[in-house]
Amino acid sequence: MRTLHLPIPPAPSRLKTRLRLARRLVSFAVVFAGLPSLTHAEDGERLAGQLCAACHGVHGHSESPIFPRLSAQTPEYLTAQLKGFRDHARGETDARSYMWAIASQLDDATIASLADYYAHQEPVHGTPGDAALLAKGQDLFEHGAPDRGTPACASCHGEQGQGNGTFPRLAGQHHEYLQRQIEVFSNGTRANAPVMTAIAHSLDADEAKAVAAWLESR
């Protein structure tokens, strides 16, 4: 008799994340299939509730680290990213899989309305974690690493990571998402932001982890 080789089941926490993701994707498919092709400007708040909330959460307060939080993000950055997905300028794997098709349906007026909606939602404030890790992250954020020429993150992203124009808000964001972005800037798959590519490249894994943890705790 032949032995059946079953794949090793994923660890419970990963399985839970996958199930949650699968459920979201199903609800997303249902919502997306039910939408007429968006050939005219849509009201941002309505579209956010009907479509974006399935992944990014109600008011942009996403719970899963796969999906970035959008609440209180700067309108300039939101607009630039949605256009970047639409033009295929922002092309890391998750952006391609999730955002390219959606952004292709959005005209400029709809993008402006969505950006305005999310910019006006209350920010999420994370919970503090390991004090030593957070202190290391805060130091890097506020002072950079002068010996390597890494500038202070605060000089662009704002004193508290609140963002400023085209420099995105980072405060309150899922640390897993932040770390993933540092990684895709560094390995060149999110290639349309040369400033961040160079900065991300200068960070080691421990620094990326520390600064992401500090930012989420804001």
Residues forming contacts to ligand HEC in the complex (CB under 6 A) are: 28, 47, 51-52, 54-56, 66-68, 70, 78, 80-82, 92, 94-95, 98-99, 102, 114, 140, 150-151, 153, 155-157, 166-168, 170, 178, 180-182, 192-193, 195-196, 199, 203, 211
Take residue 95 and report the two structure tokens written for it.
Answer: 């952006």
Taking the complex as a whole, the smallest distance from the CB of residue 90 to ligand HEC amounts, in Å, to 6
Q: Cβ closer to ligand HEC: 3 or 37?
A: 37
> What is the full DSSP assignment across 31-73?
HHHHSPP--S---HHHHIIIIIHHHH-GGG---STTS---TT-
Q: Cβ closer to ligand HEC: 1 or 118?
A: 118
Q: Is 201:192 a contact under the CB 8 Å cutoff? A: no
Helix (H, G, I), strand (E, B) or coil at 198: helix
Taking the complex as a whole, the smallest distance from the CB of residue 67 to ligand HEC amounts, in Å, to 5
Take residue 26 and report the two structure tokens written for it.
Answer: 């199903």
Q: Cβ closer to ligand HEC: 9 or 78?
A: 78
Q: Of the candidates 162, 195, 164, 196, which has an alpha carbon nearest to the alpha carbon of residue 180?
A: 196
Q: Is 96:90 a contact under the CB 8 Å cutoff? A: no
Q: Cβ closer to ligand HEC: 3 or 39?
A: 39
Q: Is 115:165 a contact under the CB 8 Å cutoff? A: no
Q: Cβ closer to ligand HEC: 13 or 210?
A: 210
Taking the complex as a whole, the smallest distance from the CB of residue 3 to ligand HEC amounts, in Å, to 38
Taking the complex as a whole, the smallest distance from the CB of residue 188 to ligand HEC amounts, in Å, to 13
Residue with tokens 């405060």: 171
Taking the complex as a whole, the smallest distance from the CB of residue 152 to ligand HEC amounts, in Å, to 6
